[in-house]
Amino acid sequence: MTRSTALVTGANKGIGLEIARQLGGRDFAVWLGCRDRDRGEAAAATLREEGIDANCLTLDVTDAHSIAAAAEQLGDRIGALDALVNNAGMSFGRRLPPSQEAVDEMRAIFDVNVFGVVRVTQSFLPLLRKSAAARIVMISSGLGSIASTLDMTSENWNIASVGYSASKTALNMVTAKFAKELAAEGMKVNAADPGLTATDLNGHMGSRTPRDSAAIAVRLATLDMFGPTGGFFLNENADTRPPRHPW
């Protein structure tokens, strides 16, 4: 039986590395899409020491040439891609109000969190289409919820930074559009909110560990044929039933 294959972007540390580890534990051959090759190779070596079939794939989500080269390289190594987890993301970590946040920083955030996801998904679609049951997972955030942003009782009420939040709102729409397009082909495309997790991205704020937060992405990457598509799922909603509240 052919082993399933997964690509996880931004996988040399944090939630991405843990997603790769947990997929490897489910007998996936995992490819760690990493901008820094040395760090990616070190992360892959760590997983191999744990008995996981892991390899590094040099991939910069902001560079179309890098993505194209990575897609060609992976296509030479595998017959099909069964799961793509768009985990790579960025934030400057500054909590400035919209009136003070630099547009250049917002643009950089969107280039990774939105356009990077579109670039990667488009480039790896040919390999995904060779799978009998491809799954695409977008790592989103509750900060992208407009309803939550306007809710005074929400933990998001006091979060200012517009660039990161708006990028996740846009990513949710990207998820929905890809889900609609690819549904007829049997692909499932969903967004996962891992919750506030202590990683380098947020200065290690939050009570969740990467191990806990990776669970929802892994579940969505391994959905059976009856699983949902076009949804936004919180980490607590590990059984991936349709969300009670929209996006």
The answer as to whether 116 is a domain residue is yes
Per-residue pLDDT tens for 128-180?
Answer: 999 999 999 999 998 998 988 898 888 788 888 899 999 999 999 999 999 99
Told to judge if 177 belongs to the known catalytic residues of this protein, a careful annotator would answer no
In order along the chain (247 residues), what is the average pLDDT of each group of 10 residues? 90 95 97 97 98 98 98 98 97 87 96 98 98 97 90 84 95 98 97 73 57 91 96 69 47
Query: Domain span at residue 71?
Result: 5-234
Distance, in Å, from the CA atom of 139 to the CA atom of 18, rounded to the nearest integer, reads: 13
Number of domains in the chain: 1
**CATH code assigned at 176:** 3.40.50.720
Neighbouring CB atoms inside 10 A of 96's CB total: 14
The answer as to whether 9 is a domain residue is yes
The answer as to whether 183 is a domain residue is yes
Give phi and psi for 8, each to the nearest 5.
Answer: -120, 120
The answer as to whether 239 is a domain residue is no
Give phi and psi for 13, each to the nearest 5.
Answer: -160, 175
| Active-site position among 13, 130, 168, 177 | 168
The answer as to whether 246 is a domain residue is no
Distance, in Å, from the CA atom of 81 to the CA atom of 74, rounded to the nearest integer, reads: 9
The answer as to whether 247 is a domain residue is no
| Active-site position among 13, 130, 164, 177 | 164
Full-model pTM:
0.91
Told to judge if 168 belongs to the known catalytic residues of this protein, a careful annotator would answer yes
The answer as to whether 76 is a domain residue is yes
